[in-house]
C-alpha cells in the first residue's frame, strides 16, 4: 500500500476592517469614548517606564494639551524606530511590552519591569479612533540613538503611512501623539473635557503629568500624589478631615467615618468611606479602582462583600486583573481572596469602634444597623460583639437584644410588623417579651441568638402563648356567659375562628385577633379544599392538620363586651360579634379573604338595620303618646 502526503497549506493573514473595529471598540468593548484619554496616558506612562528600565537617569516629561479639536500628548519615553512603528502600531494585538518572541522585553533588565506596565492587551492607539479621524505619531527611539525620527500617520479609513523625518524634527527621544477629532466627537476634544478626563484617570499615576489648554497660561498639574490615604498628617484628626474632604470631592458626600484598606501582600492600598445615610442592601455599590495608579473603573461592584453596602471604596492595586476593556475587575480567585480580606478590614473597624468608641459606633448603627445585622448572620463572633448595640423593636420599646434578654429569658417574636403592632401593647401589659422580627434580617438573627446566649429560649409567637398570659375570668362568670360564647362561636365557625374570653389590659381594646403560621396554613388549606376538584379534595383532605385555629379573644374588662354579652336578642348578639371580629381583623392589618369581606359587609348592614329599626320603634312609641 502506498501512502499519499497532504500538500502543505499556505498561511494567510487576517484582514481587519478598521471601521468595523472602531465600531466594535466604541459600541461593545468600551462603555464610553472617554477612554481614549486613558489610552493616551497609558501609552505615555508605559513609554516612560520602558525608558527608565533602559536609563534610570532619563528625564520624565508627559505633557497633555487640547485646543481647536486637536488633542496632543508628548512624552520623553522609549520611542520607536521605523520598523517598530510598522510592527507595533499597525498590528492588532501586538505590544512593545510583550517580550518572549524577539520583542523589546527580551533585552537584559527589561523583563523585570514587565509587571510595571499598565497595558495588557496591545490594542493601543487604535482605541483612539473612537474619537479621532486622524492620528499622527512622531517618535524617536532611545534604544537606537542613530535612528532617525519616524512619523506614523493613520486615518479612520484603515490606511497609514510611515516615513522617516530629519533629525531636527525631534532631537530628543520620546513620542508625540496628535489626534484630530472627527465630526460628531469634538466635545471629547474640548480642553475642559480633556483636562477633566485626564485628572479623573491619571491623578494617581507615578509620573508628573501636566495639562495645557492652549490659552498661554502655565501648564497645570494633572497628577496629585501621593494618594490622600498615603499622606502624612500631624494628627489623626487632621487625617480624618483630609479624608472627609477627599470623599466629598470624589463621591459627593461627607462620610460618617473612613476605614483603611491596606493589604500589602495583595498589593492593595486605599480607603472605604462610610455612607452618612441609609442605603438599600440590594443596591450594588460603585467603587473606584486604580490599577497601578490609572483609574480602572468607578463602578466596581464586585470589590467588597455584598453585606458591606454601607461603604464606598477607592483603592489602588497592582495585582488584580482587569477585564479586556480595562473598565472593571475580572472576578477570579485573586479578587475573591482580596474581597474576603477587605471584608475582614471592615469587620475589624466595627470591632475597634465597639471596644474604644461606643459613641461613634452608636451613630453608625443608627444609620446602618441593617448592614451590621446582615454581617452578624454569618459571623457569630460579630453577633456576640454587636449584641449590646444592635437595635430591635420590642414590646418594651426600642432596645438591644442584650437589654431585652436581661428582662426576658423566654423571647417570642412575630414574623410581620402588623402582627407585632397589634400584640405589643397587650404583651407589654402582661409581661410577655415579644420582638418584632418583621424587618430585614431580624428573624435570622433571633434564630442564631441561642447559639450566642444558650440560656435564652426563642420561639415564634403563637395564639396559645398569648392567650395563656392573659387573665382568665372567674369560672362562675364564664359559666354565666356560656350562651353568649356559644352564639359567638357559632357565628365565627365559618371563618375558622374560635372565641375565648379573657380579662386583659389595656381596657380600651375590646377584642384581639390572634393566629399563627400553622393556623394560617390550615385556613389556606381549607380555602383550597373548597375550590378543588374531587381528586385534589381527597389529597388536601388527607393533609388536614391538628393545629389550633385562629382566635378572637374578647376582653371582659371592656365595658362594650359586657354590654354585648348581656343583649337579649341572639341575632343582634351574633351581628355584634361579627362586627368585633371584623374590627379586630382590620386592626391586625392582615389581608382580608372574600369570606371576611362578606362578613364585614353583613355585620355593617345588620347594625344599620338594627339602628334604624330601633329609631322607628321609638318614633312609633312617641306617636302613641
Least confident of 289-298, 532-541, 560-569: 532-541
Least confident of 123-137, 310-324, 593-607: 123-137
Reply yes or no on whether the pLDDT at 439 is more than 90: no
- What is the model's pLDDT at position 68? 85
- What is the model's pLDDT at position 621? 56
pLDDT category, 89, cuts 50, 70, 90?
low
pLDDT category, 325, cuts 50, 70, 90?
low
Q: What percent of the chain has pLDDT over 70?
A: 81
- What is the model's pLDDT at position 8? 55
Reply yes or no on whether the pLDDT at 47 is more than 80: yes
Q: Pick from 193, 199, 213, 205: which is nearest to 34 by CA?
A: 193
Mean pLDDT of 171-175: 92
- pLDDT tens profile 184-206: 889 999 999 999 999 999 999 99
For β-strands 150-155 and 160-164, DSSP reports them as antiparallel
Reply yes or no on whether the pLDDT at 256 is more than 90: yes
* Contacts (Cβ under 8 Å, ≥6 apart) of 209: 41, 44, 62, 63, 64, 198, 202, 221, 222, 223
Mean pLDDT of 229-258: 95
- pLDDT tens profile 412-434: 898 888 788 878 888 888 888 89
- What is the model's pLDDT at position 202? 94
- What is the model's pLDDT at position 306? 84
Q: Pick from 312, 263, 269, 311: which is nearest to 287 by CA?
A: 312
Reply yes or no on whether the pLDDT at 170 is more than 70: yes
Reply yes or no on whether the pLDDT at 573 is more than 60: yes
- What is the model's pLDDT at position 531? 52
Reply yes or no on whether the pLDDT at 29 is more than 50: yes
Between 115 and 613, where is the model more confident?
613
- What is the model's pLDDT at position 22? 60
Least confident of 189-203, 261-275, 597-611: 597-611
Between 28 and 328, where is the model more confident?
328
- What is the model's pLDDT at position 550? 82
Least confident of 265-274, 336-345, 406-415: 406-415
* Contacts (Cβ under 8 Å, ≥6 apart) of 370: 278, 281, 440, 441
- What is the model's pLDDT at position 118? 46
Longest pairwise C-alpha distance within the chain = 136
CB 420 within 8 A of CB 434: yes
Q: What percent of the chain has pLDDT over 90?
A: 36
Distance CA 571, CA 582 (A): 17
- What is the model's pLDDT at position 25? 59
Listed ranges 123-127, 207-211, 389-393; the one with the highest mean pLDDT: 207-211
- pLDDT tens profile 362-398: 889 889 888 888 888 888 777 888 888 888 999 999 8
Q: Which three cell numbers stand for residue 298?
A: 468607578
- What is the model's pLDDT at position 618? 54
pLDDT category, 289, cuts 50, 70, 90?
very high
- pLDDT tens profile 507-550: 888 998 887 665 555 554 455 545 545 554 554 344 444 445 78
Distances (CA, A) of 339 to 260, 299, 320, 471, 535: 14, 15, 11, 55, 54
CB 130 within 8 A of CB 36: yes
Between 390 and 113, where is the model more confident?
390
- What is the model's pLDDT at position 323? 76
Reply yes or no on whether the pLDDT at 253 is more than 50: yes
Cis ω on the peptide bond leading into residue 279 (within 30° of 0)? Answer: no
Distances (CA, A) of 555 to 119, 492, 560: 77, 17, 9
Mean pLDDT of 293-322: 90
Task: Establish how many alpha carbons lie within 13 A of residue 577's alpha carbon, considering only the half-sphere containing its beta carbon.
Answer: 29
Listed ranges 212-216, 335-339, 460-464; the one with the highest mean pLDDT: 335-339
Least confident of 211-215, 259-263, 375-379, 454-458: 375-379
- pLDDT tens profile 131-167: 999 999 999 999 988 889 999 888 887 778 889 999 8
Listed ranges 259-263, 600-604, 618-622; the one with the highest mean pLDDT: 259-263
Distance CA 290, CA 308 (A): 20
- What is the model's pLDDT at position 606? 86
Rg of the chain's alpha carbons, rounded to an integer? 38
- What is the model's pLDDT at position 100? 38
- What is the model's pLDDT at position 540? 39
Between 25 and 580, where is the model more confident?
580
- What is the model's pLDDT at position 622? 56
Mean per-residue pLDDT over the chain, rounded: 82
- What is the model's pLDDT at position 181? 93
Query: Quick one: DSSP state of residue 213?
Result: -
Reply yes or no on whether the pLDDT at 561 is more than 50: yes
Amino acid at each position: 500500500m502506498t501512502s499519499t502526503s497532504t500538500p502543505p497549506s499556505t498561511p494567510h493573514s487576517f484582514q481587519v476592517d478598521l471601521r468595523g473595529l472602531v465600531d466594535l471598540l466604541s459600541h461593545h468593548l468600551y462603555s464610553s469614548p472617554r477612554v481614549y484619554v486613558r489610552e493616551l496616558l497609558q501609552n505615555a506612562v508605559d513609554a516612560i517606564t520602558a525608558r527608565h528600565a533602559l536609563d534610570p537617569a532619563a528625564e520624565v516629561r508627559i505633557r497633555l494639551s487640547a485646543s481647536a479639536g486637536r488633542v496632543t500628548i508628548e512624552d520623553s519615553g522609549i520611542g520607536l524606530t521605523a520598523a517598530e512603528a510598522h510592527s507595533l502600531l499597525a498590528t492588532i494585538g501586538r505590544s512593545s511590552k510583550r517580550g518572549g518572541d524577539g520583542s523589546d522585553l527580551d533585552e537584559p533588565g527589561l523583563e523585570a519591569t514587565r509587571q510595571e506596565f499598565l497595558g495588557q492587551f496591545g490594542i493601543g492607539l487604535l482605541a483612539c479612533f473612537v474619537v479621532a479621524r486622524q492620528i499622527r505619531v512622531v517618535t524617536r527611539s532611545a534604544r537606537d540613538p542613530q535612528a532617525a525620527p519616524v512619523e506614523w500617520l493613520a486615518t479612520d479609513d484603515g490606511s497609514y503611512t510611515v516615513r522617516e523625518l530629519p533629525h531636527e524634527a525631534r532631537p530628543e527621544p520620546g513620542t508625540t501623539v496628535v489626534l484630530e477629532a472627527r465630526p460628531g466627537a469634538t466635545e471629547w476634544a474640548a480642553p475642559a473635557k480633556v483636562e477633566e478626563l485626564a485628572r479623573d484617570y491619571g491623578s494617581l499615576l507615578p509620573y508628573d503629568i501636566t495639562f495645557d489648554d492652549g490659552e498661554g497660561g502655565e501648564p497645570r498639574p494633572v497628577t496629585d500624589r501621593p494618594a490622600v490615604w498615603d499622606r502624612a498628617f500631624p494628627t489623626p484628626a487632621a487625617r480624618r478631615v483630609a479624608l472627609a474632604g477627599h470623599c466629598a470631592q470624589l463621591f459627593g458626600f461627607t462620610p460618617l467615618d473612613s476605614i483603611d484598606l491596606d493589604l500589602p501582600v495583595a498589593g492593595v492600598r486605599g480607603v472605604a468611606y462610610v455612607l452618612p445615610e441609609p442605603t438599600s442592601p440590594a443596591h450594588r455599590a460603585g467603587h473606584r479602582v486604580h490599577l497601578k495608579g490609572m483609574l480602572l473603573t468607578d463602578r466596581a461592584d464586585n470589590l467588597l462583600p455584598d453585606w458591606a453596602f454601607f461603604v464606598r471604596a477607592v483603592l489602588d492595586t497592582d495585582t488584580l486583573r482587569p477585564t479586556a476593556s480595562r473598565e472593571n475587575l475580572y472576578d477570579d480567585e485573586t479578587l475573591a481572596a482580596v474581597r474576603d480580606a477587605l471584608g475582614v478590614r471592615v469587620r475589624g473597624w466595627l470591632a475597634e469602634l465597639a471596644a474604644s468608641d461606643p459613641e461613634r459606633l452608636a451613630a453608625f448603627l443608627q444609620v446602618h444597623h441593617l448592614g451590621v445585622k446582615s454581617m452578624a448572620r454569618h459571623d457569630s463572633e460579630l453577633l456576640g460583639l454587636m449584641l449590646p448595640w444592635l437595635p430591635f423593636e420590642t414590646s418594651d420599646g426600642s432596645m438591644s437584644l442584650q437589654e431585652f434578654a436581661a428582662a426576658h429569658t423566654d423571647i417570642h417574636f412575630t414574623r410581620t410588623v402588623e402582627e407585632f403592632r397589634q400584640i405589643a401593647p397587650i404583651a407589654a401589659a402582661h409581661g410577655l417579651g415579644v420582638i418584632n422580627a418583621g424587618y430585614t434580617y431580624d428573624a435570622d438573627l433571633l434564630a442564631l441568638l441561642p447559639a450566642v446566649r444558650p440560656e435564652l429560649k426563642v420561639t415564634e409567637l403563637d395564639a396559645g402563648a398569648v392567650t395563656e398570659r392573659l387573665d382568665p375570668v372567674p369560672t362562675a362568670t364564664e359559666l354565666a356567659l356560656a350562651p353568649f360564647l356559644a352564639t359567638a362561636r357559632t357565628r365565627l365557625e365559618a371563618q375558622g375562628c374560635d372565641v375565648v374570653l379573657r380579662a386583659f389590659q389595656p381596657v380600651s381594646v375590646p377584642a384581639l385577633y390572634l393566629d399563627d403560621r400553622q393556623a394560617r396554613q390550615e385556613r389556606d388549606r381549607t380555602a383550597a379544599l373548597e375550590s378543588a376538584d374531587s381528586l385534589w379534595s381527597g389529597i388536601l383532605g388527607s393533609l388536614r392538620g391538628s393545629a389550633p385555629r385562629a382566635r378572637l379573644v374578647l376582653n371582659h374588662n371592656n365595658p362594650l363586651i359586657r354590654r354585648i354579652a348581656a343583649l337579649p336578642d341572639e341575632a343582634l348578639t351574633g351581628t355584634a360579634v361579627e362586627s368585633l371580629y371584623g374590627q379586630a381583623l382590620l386592626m391586625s392589618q392582615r389581608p382580608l379573604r372574600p369570606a371576611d369581606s362578606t362578613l364585614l359587609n353583613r355585620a355593617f348592614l345588620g347594625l344599620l338595620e338594627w339602628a334604624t329599626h330601633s329609631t322607628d320603634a321609638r318614633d312609633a312609641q312617641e306617636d302613641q303618646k
